[in-house]
Amino acid sequence: MHRMQILGITPAEEHTYRHLLRHPGSGVAETVAAPWHPPGAGAAAVGRLKALGVVVESDGALWPEEPQVVVGLLAERLLAELHAITRSLAQVYTVVRSLEDEAAAAGRPEEPPQDSRLVERITGPSALRARVEALALSTRSEVLAGGLCEEVDPRVLRLTLPLGLRMLARGVTVRLLVRQSMLADPVAVAHLRRLADAGARVRVLSSSDSPMAVCDGGTALVPVEPSDLTKGAFVTAEPGMVSTVVNHFERLWADAREFGDD
C-alpha cells in the first residue's frame, strides 16, 4: 500500500525511496531504469526526489535522507501549499465582495456574472450537471479528468459518455484517470472502451484519489467533498489553483498504467 501520496509523493517515487532505504548507495542509472517506473519517467522521479530533499546524489550514487526528516520536509511543504491556497481563496472572496459593492453603488444587480467569478461553488445535482455540460461544450483543446470513480453511478456514465464522445468528435484531446475499482463494473468498462476506441487516452490509478477535471488548462473543477459528489463542486479559473490541479493530475498520470494493460 502506498502511504506517501498524502504527502505529494507518487507511488513510483515512494517505491524509489523505499528501495533506497533498503539499498542505500544504489547507482543513479540503475535506479532511473528500475522497472517500477513508467516508461521514460525514472529520471523525472529521481530528479523530483532530489529536488524535494528526499534523496541525495553523491558520486553517481543515491542516498536516502532519514524518514523522520523526509516526512517532516514533505509535511511542511504540503502545509505551505495549503496555506497558500487558503490565502488565495481569502483574497478571491475579498475581490468578489469589493466588485459586488461597486455594482451595488452603481445601482446594478449585486450578483456578478458567473464567468467573472474566480471561484464558484456549485450545489445541487441539476446545477452541477448543467455546469459540467457547459464546460464540456465550451472546451476546445483538452480536458483532463481524474479520480473517476469510487462507486460507479449509472447517471454519471449516462452523462459523461455522450459528452466525451462529442468532445472527441470535435478534436478535443481527452485524458481520463480512473480508479482500479471502476474496472470491476462491466458497464463502466464498456463505457471506457467506447471512449478509448473514439480516441480518448485512459489510464488506471492503483489507488484512490480525489476527483478533478480541467478544461483547456484554464478552468478546474474539484468536489467540495472528495468522497461525496452530491455535496457539489468548486469551479475556479484562478491560475494558481488551476496550475495546482494540473500538476497533481500530471503526477498521477505519469504513474498510472494504460487502460487495457493486464
What is the band of 199 on the pLDDT scale with cuts at 50, 70, 90?
A: very high
Tell me, yes or no, whether 89 and 168 share the same domain. Answer: no
What is the band of 48 on the pLDDT scale with cuts at 50, 70, 90?
A: very high
Give the residue numbers spanning the domain of 247: 114-258
Q: For 80-119, write each residue's pLDDT tens digit.
A: 776 666 556 555 555 655 666 777 776 655 444 444 446 7
> CB of 131 within 8 A of CB of 162?
no
pLDDT of residue 112: 46
Tell me, yes or no, whether 229 and 120 share the same domain. Answer: yes
Average pLDDT, the chain: 81
Tell me, yes or no, whether 118 and 181 share the same domain. Answer: yes
Arithmetic mean of pLDDT, 189-203: 92
Tell me, yes or no, whether 108 and 216 share the same domain. Answer: no
Tell me, yes or no, whether 83 and 213 share the same domain. Answer: no
* 130: amino acid identity, one letter: A
From 48, 83, 112, the end of a domain falls on: 112
pLDDT of residue 151: 52
What is the band of 153 on the pLDDT scale with cuts at 50, 70, 90?
A: low
Q: For 18-47, write each residue's pLDDT tens digit.
A: 999 999 999 999 999 999 998 899 999 999
Q: How far apart are CA 165 and CA 70, in angstroms?
A: 44
**With 0-12 CB in 10 A as exposed, 13-18 as middle and 19+ as buried, what is 184?**
exposed
Q: How far apart are CA 12 and CA 16, in angstroms?
A: 6
Q: Is the pLDDT of residue 262 over 60?
A: no
Buried b (16+ CB within 10 A) or exposed e, 216-247: eeebbbbbeeeeebeebbebbbbeebbebbbe
pLDDT of residue 114: 44
* 141: amino acid identity, one letter: S
Tell me, yes or no, whether 24 and 141 share the same domain. Answer: no
Tell me, yes or no, whether 4 and 81 share the same domain. Answer: yes
pLDDT of residue 212: 86
Q: Which of 117-121, 159-163, 198-202 has the lowest mean pLDDT?
A: 117-121
Tell me, yes or no, whether 201 and 189 share the same domain. Answer: yes
Q: Is the pLDDT of residue 246 over 50?
A: yes
pLDDT of residue 98: 67
Tell me, yes or no, whether 130 and 244 share the same domain. Answer: yes
Structural domains in the chain (count): 2
Compute the residue count for the chain: 262
Q: Which candidate, 114, 83, 112, places its Cα nearest to that of 100? A: 112
C-alpha cell at 262: 493486464
Q: Is the pLDDT of residue 149 over 80?
A: no
- Which CATH number covers residue 88? 1.10.10.10
Among left, alpha and beta (phi > 0; psi -120 to 50; other), residue 220 is beta
Q: Which of 122-136, 153-167, 203-217 has the lowest mean pLDDT?
A: 153-167
CA-based angle 57:59:61, to the nearest 5?
50
pLDDT of residue 223: 80
Tell me, yes or no, whether 54 and 128 share the same domain. Answer: no
pLDDT of residue 77: 83
Neighbours of 26 (CB within 10 A): 18
Tell me, yes or no, whether 87 and 205 share the same domain. Answer: no
Q: For 61-72, write each residue's pLDDT tens digit.
A: 999 999 988 988
Neighbours of 181 (CB within 10 A): 15
Q: Which of 47-56, 151-160, 229-238 has the lowest mean pLDDT?
A: 151-160
Tell me, yes or no, whether 20 and 119 share the same domain. Answer: no
From 55, 90, 112, the end of a domain falls on: 112
Q: How far apart are CA 150 and CA 228, in angstroms?
A: 10
